Structure 1
Amino acid sequence: MSDISAQQLEETDRPAHRDPNVLRWLAAYTSSMLGDGVYYLALSWAAVQAGTPAQAGLVMSASALPRAVLMLGGGVIADRLGPRRVVIASDAVRCAAALAVAALLFLSSPGLWPLALLALVFGTVDAVFMPAVGALPARLTGKGQLARVQGMRGLAIRFATVVGAPLGGLGVAVGGASAAFALAGLLIAVSVPLLVSVHVRDLPGDDTPGAGGTTAWRDLAAGLRYIRRHRVLAPLMLAIALGDLGFVGPLNVGLTLLADRRGWGASGVGWVLAGFGVGAGAASLLLTVRGRVPRAGLVTGCACVAGSVAIGALAFVPGLVAAAGVSLVVGLLAGLSGALCGALLQTRSDPAYLGRVTAVASLVSLGVAPLSMPFTAGAIGAWGLAPVFVVSAVVCGLGGVVALAVPGLRRAELPG
């Protein structure tokens, strides 16, 4: 059986890092994320080889539009069909698409069109994959273990980030883009049998979206109303939006421009980003070991405010070593607040709405926040680094202020 009742799951609940069911899911998730890392490097390399830099940029951005447009609908699908089924189907489609392009590139030189089509397929599938991935942990273990699961998920992401790109580079070096795409497909394929063996809790049939003949639009509207009226989720979504809007620009575009102005070069950017990765990894490890953080809402707000101060300080740090140290602090605080936000989303949401809740949070983080990057670059060109970093820090800090000012969120606790 692939589904078990919530009562049975609670009766057999154990620490997530010792639960074979959770560990199978973690292995599947890590393999899928590794495949993603290899895929993105293979796609960028193949696009640059097949076209102009401008054309390569269009191919790389082709997945963004379907992901943003379809994300909310993906949350409805995850709630209707169940996140486990959606994740399995999504990984199967992504695996097949990557292997098909690998075969096509091996047999011929078709140009940019299969790469653009692959990017569109991945973007479309991501729109249902991401909400389902976010909704799945709550079906794997008890609520008291969800902060630990978020820490484990964060460690998997950091591992995939560090290892995925070098694996993709190795694939390109050994057999070209076709070999790298094949490697990506095989890594994603590993996740499918692991996910099939994962057990999840059943949702009550009368709570499942679509029950009673409701339409997808009504399910989506119901999910948005549910978030808007929730005393924790509504302010938490606003806090996430403000935090991401203030964070994405400086840490993606701003750091590159900062390194250029300071004369640190590309290696300097790498060291600063490494500092951030170490800090974020430490935060994930902390949650994995502790399993629970008392007064989670208060800690989230404080971490966001303190992290915003560190973001603003980056523009005033003259040396590379100091910048890497400040970036480590940013990663630690951002990783802690981000993981706690994810745990609060999962523990405070009715399981029947969790896919739609995750879809809204993913849309904010992955669809809206990246739009700030071109504005950040333009603003730095017009007004300089320091004012833009400070304004971004203020916007990020407002997310923490929301978390601290709204009583329902400030007092929110994770289950023990």
Structure 2
Amino acid sequence: MTTITTTAAPAARPAHRDPQVLRWLGAYTASTLGDSVFYLALSWTAVSSGTPAQAGLVMAVSAVPRALLLLVGGAIADRLGPRRVVIASDTVRCLVVLGLAATLFLTAPGLWALAAVALVFGVVDAVFLPAVGALPPRVAARDQLARVQGMRGLSHRLGAVLGAPLGGLAVALGGSATAFGIAGILFAFSLPLLAALKLRPLPREDEARDGTALRDLADGLRYLRGHRVLGPLMIVVLLSDLGFVGPLNVGLAVLSEQRGWGASGIGWVLAGFGVGAGGASLLLTVKGHIPRTGVVMGWTMVVGAVSIGALAFIPQLPFAVLAALSIGLLAGLSGALCNALVQTECDPAYLGRVSAVSSLGSLGIAPLSFPVTGAALGAWGPGPVFVVSAAVCALSGVYALAVRAVRRAELPKS
């Protein structure tokens, strides 16, 4: 009698124990810290070298090419491969920033040099951001992508929390040149980690691509339009960004001034939001799977919208911080789930282009609402503006719940 022994396939390694994921996360964290230090140093140097209006123009220079070229950047990331694009992007940023640091050590180049560096950063960001979004399926199993998104959220919060103080300390101790030098070193630190990544092969990866990056972009948009989950999900992302970005970037300052909270009050409210968003990322990192993902995502958007609207009517700072914590937790969870669904639903061959479309709302379209939000705040005050913004956020959740394919979307179990 013959005995047949079967060997079960090894379980996928958890994301937080996977060396490939940890290398990617280390590179992403270093790059995020470098970004935070760079933009603080750029802002400080621009203000010190010119008027506030001129400094504002320097800071805006990087946003324009990023918004205009982001979709093309997604097509380039898919065509050339995300790791190659990310390595090239961080190399360019490293060399440019270290060159600026050396220039500042020797002379005072003026605002034109700062504007030129900001322009280069905007162009590079347009290809870097979609490529970063396309890397996780190359380094992690599909059932670990939700955890990876949670870890990415924690890394992003870490960069935001530590980057600004690190940049401020560098400016205080050694001036702008030292701060730019530290930013360049952080970009350089990501390069060997990215070079050591071993990427998973993708379906059709070896197929030749015909045409140009623009044709690839059109092909990606057709793919999105025909996808039963991703197409509606892009509308959900856009609505949530339009409703969320204005109040938290423009309205919060007006609200703090009217309530007498001062600049420290803004800091406390933003800290509450950051803690909540970090908690949501930690939850997704630990659990890895949220049952009924589409339903949870939709309802957290709706309930989070209530907290956004309520923030304008809370006079006491401690309660406003609690409301911000609630917003961060709910909006952070819905955003992380949305990103995880994009990662798991999308054909990896299109992920750079889909990530670019997803990022366009928060990085390109939503910031265009800042002047409108400011004018509305001046005309009607924060109450009506926050309520309208909350309604737009709630609409994104209602739409997610109304579209059956999105409502029934599930993350794979880990």
**Into which bin does the TM-score normalised by the smaller protein fall?**
over 0.9
Specify the alignment match of 2:342 in structure 1.
Answer: 345
Specify the alignment match of 1:66 in structure 2.
Answer: 65
Quote how far apart the aligned CAs of 1:213 are. 2.0
Output one character per residue of 1:73-112: Cα deviation in whole Å (capped at 9) or x when no partner: 1001110111111111101100111000001111111111
**CA separation of 1:27/1:212 partners in 2, compared to 1, >3 Å: closer, same or farther?**
closer
Consecutive unaligned residues of structure 2, counting only runs of 5 or more, are 1-8
Output one character per residue of 1:250-297: Cα deviation in whole Å (capped at 9) or x when no partner: 111111100000000000010000000000000000011111111111
> What SS is found at the alignment partner of 1:316?
coil
Structure 1 residue identity aligned to 2:350: Y
Specify the alignment match of 2:251 in structure 1.
Answer: 254
- Counterpart CA distance in 2 for 1:203 and 1:257 is 49
User: Any conservation in 2 of the 1:207–1:352 contact (CA below 8 Å)?
Assistant: no
User: Any conservation in 2 of the 1:246–1:394 contact (CA below 8 Å)?
Assistant: yes
**CA separation of 1:376/1:212 partners in 2, compared to 1, >3 Å: closer, same or farther?**
closer
Specify the alignment match of 2:381 in structure 1.
Answer: 384
- Counterpart CA distance in 2 for 1:288 and 1:61 is 34
RMSD: 1.2
Matches within 5 A, 1:333-412: 333-412=330-409
- Counterpart CA distance in 1 for 2:314 and 2:363 is 29
Establish whether residue 145 from structure 1 lines up as the match of residue 177 from structure 2: no
User: Any conservation in 2 of the 1:280–1:331 contact (CA below 8 Å)?
Assistant: yes
- Counterpart CA distance in 2 for 1:396 and 1:213 is 40
Quote how far apart the aligned CAs of 1:175 are. 1.2
**Residue identity (%):** 68
User: Any conservation in 1 of the 2:205–2:349 contact (CA below 8 Å)?
Assistant: no
Specify the alignment match of 2:300 in structure 1.
Answer: 303
Specify the alignment match of 2:54 in structure 1.
Answer: 55
TM-score for both structures, normalised by structure 1:
0.96
Structure 1 residue identity aligned to 2:151: M
- Counterpart CA distance in 1 for 2:283 and 2:245 is 23
Quote how far apart the aligned CAs of 1:216 are. 1.9
Quote how far apart the aligned CAs of 1:12 are. 7.1
Specify the alignment match of 1:218 in structure 2.
Answer: 215
Specify the alignment match of 1:5 in structure 2.
Answer: none
Output one character per residue of 1:146-199: Cα deviation in whole Å (capped at 9) or x when no partner: 110001000001111110011101111111101100000001110000111111
Quote how far apart the aligned CAs of 1:138 are. 1.1
Specify the alignment match of 2:27 in structure 1.
Answer: 28
Structure 2 residue corresponding to 1:288, chosen from 276, 281, 285: 285
Structure 2 residue identity aligned to 1:167: L
- Counterpart CA distance in 2 for 1:297 and 1:140 is 25
Quote how far apart the aligned CAs of 1:206 are. 5.8
Structure 2 residue corresponding to 1:234, chosen from 228, 231, 236: 231
Output one character per residue of 1:310-342: Cα deviation in whole Å (capped at 9) or x when no partner: 000001111000000000000000100110111
Structure 2 residue corresponding to 1:331, chosen from 328, 345, 357: 328
Specify the alignment match of 1:127 in structure 2.
Answer: 126
- Counterpart CA distance in 1 for 2:14 and 2:358 is 27
Consecutive unaligned residues of structure 1, counting only runs of 5 or more, are 1-9
Specify the alignment match of 2:182 in structure 1.
Answer: 183
- Counterpart CA distance in 1 for 2:217 and 2:249 is 32
